[in-house]
């Protein structure tokens, strides 16, 4: 059966090292190959001397020859606003990632033809709010409507679960890739796939193992020739490349010879290396990191309330699980073999496609339903008793505890701390430590206009909403006045996100233009009409026309109260969503807009509150 209103939706695994895209075909997830028949592409971007943008295998070979013109492992910097320099330019991590996704989009376009497409993109479960947002933005910059951000181990479990719907059981997903490590406990029961607990490390993976080998080889060169090759950018790139090869060979062989006649130069003489490294030596180099992953397994089992014996299947995902020591450690811990029918490189993309299929309806008959959790606690900074004596600022009060099933909305009551206090600062953190300075700061906002009450505490309700994409919205309300303020967390940290998005669009536009100017018609670039159309559409969207309510509002005819202001902002967000969602959701959003407009026009407090509640609920599920 075919749906005529069909808008393709694909699943994307945007990896540190490799990326892939998949779709649902005849009820099964399948990888969409490149035109050259490649199933995964290296997540490497190269801007060559002519300004051409090259992504994937060819870019990877350029890493050693042109280290200053290429970017690898950009995912490790995702969410940072520090630009990365490439070929004399500065790109934000999401912009560089957009170039990778754009390459995957070409595979998709070759399959489906031109036209709008949606995507589900995966992120490590342990990614923060800003890392998730940056990922979503990368997808949008590449021209996808990003339908959902899902966690990588959950995706892997979905891919496996679809094939094993009838087998109830508890799985452990161990995902060790190039840059990140995630581990989740997942239960499958009558087609319901439920993530029970999830944890991980955002900075642990095969990249680190490579650098350990680089250090090992460098020490050898220092010992032999008295020069540190890591100080020479080209030598460092060469050793990194060699280190990865060595590491992979050691998954097959117990010892490998490294033979490089020219690594760097000293006193105009070539300095090389000739040595041997054994698997045992390599394992010793990375032992601490592997032990860390085992500790994470214990932590996640504890959170999920399972003993190792209760785990029915262990799914190994990610290229680094090919290191034989990994399976060995798993066997030691669980006393059983991990599954061998999970593809370490493809499972995540396939699972993202399964999520896409559940969303589009392509898999609705499968009966598979999935739920996920928030992998970390989220809360606010409060005064906290210290050593049983004084109240000190900087205590952490969790509002959503880790491993709560999402989406979730929780409210907690707090009180002002000083007599006569008229404002409170809501500082938002994620993490598990009782003091916020050890946790990850997400943002801050100020709730003002609290009545000056010298005799007792004023109560403040703080509400956290964490949506299916793992993105947080926080609001605070003064109970006695009903005054409320809310923020989408990322906006509290960054400069105006729309403005920065436009800047990104512009920067990519310039990159593509330069490439076109230098080498028109080169297939390798091929950023032509569709891109300009996308950019035009994005710019149009930003300059959307204004309606009557907007005009009244701007002319000052409506003097907004705080509630009205919020209703107005929600209405803006709802309007922005309208053309990005499907028909059924659109009706819901239209209804919400009507409610908000009626409430704004009436300026009735109760009506406004009700409309705001309804709208927030509807929007939180639909937008990132």
Residues lying near Mg ion in the complex (CB under 5 A) are found at: 15, 177
Tokens (6 digits) for 595: 């409610």
Among 12, 17, 34, 316, binds ligand ADP (CB under 6 A): 17
Q: Which entry of Mg ion, ligand ADP, none binds 247, CB below 5 to 8 A by partner kind?
A: ligand ADP
Among 9, 11, 18, 370, binds ligand ADP (CB under 6 A): 18
User: Which positions from 152 through 181 interact with ligand ADP, judged by CB under 6 A?
Assistant: 177-179
Q: Is the dihedral of CA 176, 177, 180, 183 positive or negative?
A: negative
Does 247 bind ligand ADP (CB under 6 A)? Our answer is: yes
Nearer to ligand ADP, 129 or 244 (CB): 244
Mask: binding to ligand ADP, 29-58, rule CB under 6 A, as x and -?
------------------------------
Tokens (6 digits) for 466: 């964490």
Q: Give the up-direction half-sphere exposure of residue 369: CA atoms within 13 A in the CB hemisphere.
A: 5
Among 248, 343, 410, 440, binds ligand ADP (CB under 6 A): 248
Contact by Cβ (8 Å): 356, 23 = yes
Closest CA to 352 of 97, 624, 573, 22: 22
Q: Which entry of ligand ADP, Mg ion, none binds 320, CB below 5 to 8 A by partner kind?
A: ligand ADP
DSSP letter string, 65-104: H-GGGEEE-GGGGTT----EEETTEEE-HHHHHHHHHHHH
Cis peptide before 517 (omega within 30 of 0): no
Residue at shortest CB range from ligand ADP: 206
Nearer to Mg ion, 12 or 487 (CB): 12
Question: Other CB atoms closer than 10 Å to residue 50's CB: what's the count?
Answer: 12
Tokens (6 digits) for 406: 């999402």
Q: Who's near 573: CB < 8 A, 6+ residues apart?
A: 619, 623
Contact by Cβ (8 Å): 103, 60 = no
Does 182 bind ligand ADP (CB under 6 A)? Our answer is: no
Give the nearest distance from C-beta 323 to ligand ADP in angstroms: 5
Rg (CA), the chain: 26
Does 201 bind ligand ADP (CB under 6 A)? Our answer is: no
Give the nearest distance from C-beta 321 to ligand ADP in angstroms: 8
Does 124 bind ligand ADP (CB under 6 A)? Our answer is: no
Rounded to an integer, what distance in angstroms lies between the CA atom of residue 302 and that of residue 548? Answer: 56
Give the nearest distance from C-beta 211 to ligand ADP in angstroms: 10
- Residue 17's Cβ-count burial label (10 Å; 0-12, 13-18, 19+) is buried
Tokens (6 digits) for 69: 């013109």
Contact by Cβ (8 Å): 541, 145 = no
Does 325 bind ligand ADP (CB under 6 A)? Our answer is: no
Closest CA to 486 of 431, 415, 411: 411
Q: Which entry of Mg ion, ligand ADP, none binds 206, CB below 5 to 8 A by partner kind?
A: ligand ADP
Q: Which residues of 235-251 are buried (b: 16+ CB within 10 A; e: fewer)?
A: bbbbbbbbbbebbbbbb
Nearer to Mg ion, 244 or 566 (CB): 244
The number of helices, as runs of H, and strands, as runs of E, in the chain is 16, 27
Does 318 bind ligand ADP (CB under 6 A)? Our answer is: yes
Mask: binding to ligand ADP, 335-364, rule CB under 6 A, as x and -?
----------x-------------------
- Residue at token pair 């890739």: 177
Catalytic residue among 48, 75, 427, 531: 75
Distances from the Cα of 271 to the Cα of 279, 404, 535, angstroms: 25, 56, 49
Nearer to ligand ADP, 178 or 443 (CB): 178
Does 135 bind ligand ADP (CB under 6 A)? Our answer is: no
- Interface stretch with ligand ADP, choices 47-55, 199-207, 557-565, 598-606 (CB under 6 A): 199-207
Q: Is residue 152 flagged as an active site residue?
A: yes
Q: Is residue 276 flagged as an active site residue?
A: no
Q: Is residue 491 flagged as an active site residue?
A: no
Give the nearest distance from C-beta 156 to ligand ADP in angstroms: 10
Contact by Cβ (8 Å): 39, 33 = yes
Catalytic residue among 152, 187, 210, 372: 152
| Phi, then psi, of 224 in degrees rounded to 5 | -80, -40
Residue at shortest CB range from Mg ion: 177
Give the nearest distance from C-beta 187 to Mg ion in angstroms: 22
Distances from the Cα of 323 to the Cα of 222, 249, 294, 344, angstroms: 28, 10, 15, 12
Nearer to Mg ion, 15 or 79 (CB): 15
Rounded to an integer, what distance in angstroms lies between the CA atom of residue 220 and that of residue 282? Answer: 14
Among 94, 118, 129, 207, binds ligand ADP (CB under 6 A): 207
Q: Which entry of ligand ADP, Mg ion, none binds 325, CB below 5 to 8 A by partner kind?
A: none
Q: H or E stretch including 289?
A: helix 279-304
Nearer to Mg ion, 125 or 611 (CB): 125
Give the nearest distance from C-beta 156 to Mg ion in angstroms: 9
Name the packing angle between helices 583-602 and 562-578 (round to 10°). 160
Catalytic residue among 48, 129, 147, 175: 175
Among 234, 306, 322, 494, binds ligand ADP (CB under 6 A): 322
Give the nearest distance from C-beta 12 to ligand ADP in angstroms: 12
Q: Which entry of ligand ADP, Mg ion, none binds 322, CB below 5 to 8 A by partner kind?
A: ligand ADP
Q: Who's near 611: CB < 8 A, 6+ residues apart?
A: 567, 570, 592, 595, 596, 598, 599
Give the nearest distance from C-beta 174 to ligand ADP in angstroms: 12
Q: Is residue 483 flagged as an active site residue?
A: no
Q: Which entry of ligand ADP, Mg ion, none binds 95, CB below 5 to 8 A by partner kind?
A: none
Contacts to ligand ADP by CB under 6 A: 15-18, 177-179, 205-207, 244, 247-248, 251, 318-320, 322-323, 345
Name the residues annotated as catalytic: 13, 75, 152, 175
């Amino acid at each position: 059966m075919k749906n005529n209103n069909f808008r393709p939706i694909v699943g994307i695994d945007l990896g540190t090292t490799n990326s892939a895209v998949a779709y649902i075909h005849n009820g099964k997830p399948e990888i969409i190959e490149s035109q050259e028949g490649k199933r995964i592409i290296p997540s490497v971007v190269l801007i060559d001397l002519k300004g051409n943008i090259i992504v994937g295998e060819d870019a990877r070979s350029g890493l050693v020859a042109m280290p200053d013109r290429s970017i690898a492992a950009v995912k490790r910097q995702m969410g940072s606003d520090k630009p990365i320099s490439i070929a004399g330019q500065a790109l934000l991590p999401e912009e560089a990632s957009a170039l990778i996704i754009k390459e995957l989009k070409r595979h998709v376009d070759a399959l489906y033809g031109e036209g709008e497409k949606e995507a589900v993109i995966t992120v490590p479960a342990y990614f923060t709010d800003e890392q998730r947002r940056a990922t979503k933005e990368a997808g949008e910059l590449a021209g996808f409507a990003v339908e959902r951000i899902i966690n990588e181990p959950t995706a892997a479990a979905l891919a496996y679960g679809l094939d094993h719907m009838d087998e109830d059981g508890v799985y452990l997903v161990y995902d060790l890739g190039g840059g990140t490590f995630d581990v989740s406990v997942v239960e499958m029961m009558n087609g319901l796939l439920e993530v029970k607990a999830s944890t991980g490390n955002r900075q642990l993976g095969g990249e680190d193992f490579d650098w350990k080998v680089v250090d090992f080889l460098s020490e050898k060169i220092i010992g032999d020739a008295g020069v540190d090759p890591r100080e020479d950018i080209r030598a460092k790139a060469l050793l990194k490349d060699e280190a990865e090869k060595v590491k992979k060979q050691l998954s097959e062989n117990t010892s490998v010879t490294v033979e490089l006649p020219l690594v760097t130069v000293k006193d105009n003489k070539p300095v090389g290396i000739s040595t041997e490294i054994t698997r045992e030596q390599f394992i010793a180099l990375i032992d601490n990191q592997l032990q860390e992953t085992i500790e994470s397994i214990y932590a996640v089992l504890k959170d999920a309330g399972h003993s190792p014996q209760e785990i029915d299947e262990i799914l190994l995902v990610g290229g680094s699980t090919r290191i034989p020591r990994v399976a060995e450690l798993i066997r030691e811990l669980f006393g059983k073999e991990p599954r061998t029918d999970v593809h370490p490189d493809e499972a995540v993309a396939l699972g993202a496609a399964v999520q896409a299929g559940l969303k589009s309806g392509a898999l609705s008959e499968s009966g598979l339903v999935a739920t996920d959790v928030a992998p970390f606690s989220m809360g606010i900074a409060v005064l906290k008793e210290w050593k049983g004596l004084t109240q000190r600022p900087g205590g952490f009060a969790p509002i959503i505890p880790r491993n709560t099933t999402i989406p979730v909305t929780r409210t907690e009551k707090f009180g002002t701390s000083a007599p006569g206090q008229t404002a409170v600062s809501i500082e938002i953190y994620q993490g598990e430590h009782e003091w916020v300075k050890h946790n990850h700061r997400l943002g801050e906002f100020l709730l003002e206009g609290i009545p000056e009450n010298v005799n007792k505490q004023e109560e403040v309700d703080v509400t956290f909403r964490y949506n299916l994409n793992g993105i947080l919205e926080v609001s605070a309300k003064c109970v006695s006045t009903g005054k409320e303020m809310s923020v989408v967390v990322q906006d509290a940290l960054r400069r105006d996100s729309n403005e920065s998005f436009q800047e990104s669009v512009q920067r990519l536009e310039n990159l593509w233009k330069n490439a076109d100017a230098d080498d028109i018609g080169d297939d390798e670039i091929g950023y032509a009409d569709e891109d300009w159309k996308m950019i035009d559409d994005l710019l149009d969207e930003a300059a959307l026309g204004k309606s009557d309510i907007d005009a009244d509002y701007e002319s000052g005819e409506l003097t907004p109260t705080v509630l009205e202001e919020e209703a107005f902002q929600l209405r803006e967000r709802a309007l922005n969503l309208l053309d990005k969602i499907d028909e059924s959701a659109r009706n819901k959003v239209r209804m919400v807009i009507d409610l908000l407009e009626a409430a704004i026009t009436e300026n009735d407090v109760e009506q406004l509150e009700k409309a705001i509640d309804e709208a927030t609920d509807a929007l939180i599920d639909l937008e990132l």
